[in-house]
Amino acid sequence: MGNIKRVTITKAALLVCDIQQKFGPSIFSFDAIVEVTKRLIQVANILEMKIVATEQYPKGLGHTVEELKSQMANIPIFEKKVFSMCIPEVENALPSDNEAIILCGIEAHACILQTALDFLSKGKDVYVIVDAVSSRSNIDRKYAYKKMENAGAVLTTCEAMIFELTRSADHPNFREIQKLIMSISPDSGLSHI
């Protein structure tokens, strides 16, 4: 059995990739992706984790959806034209001791895949939150997940990641986070792929 990867709060960063309004009508389960990402951001804020976001060509595609922007007051958002989030601005915003990338956003087969591959090639552990990642089609989403997993990324869910980060009901922030866990997760369409 290979090395078991475990993410820790102090060495991880949440990357929120291109969840912009103009993508909404064409992305499968967009509203669910936004809702799960909002939950991730809330938990990361409670745990005081580093969060970085990007917007793909906002001049043409608009900015991050308002539902998320309200949670992102002190979070840097960088513009990009390349598909990967692994750009100098994002890398410079990460703590120097960063070891793990927790990744959510769109699209699975484009920006998420390229980001995962780039950070994996730099030796980072990459965790893809599958219920917070989507594409325009489930076939692209499905095979992007396969490629990322084959490349070494860990596929997991929002709730599983929350439990991994907190590790115990004795965590000092668990009671606050538990309220978020207890709310029903939206259907992100994963059961169909």
From 80, 104, 118, 131, the catalytic residue: 80
Question: Mind spelling out the 3-state secondary structure of the chain?
Answer: CCCCCCCCHHHEEEEEECCEHHHHHHCCCHHHHHHHHHHHHHHHHHCCCEEEEEEECHHHHCCECHHHHCCCCCCCEEEECCCCCCCHHHHHHCCCCCCEEEEEEECHHHHHHHHHHHHHHCCCEEEEEEEEEECCCHHHHHHHHHHHHHHCCEEECHHHHHHHHHCCCCCCCHHHHHHHHHCCCCCCCHHHC
86 in catalytic set: no
97 in catalytic set: no
From 17, 18, 86, 104, the catalytic residue: 18
124 in catalytic set: no
From 86, 104, 111, 158, the catalytic residue: 111
* Residues classed as catalytic: 18, 80, 111
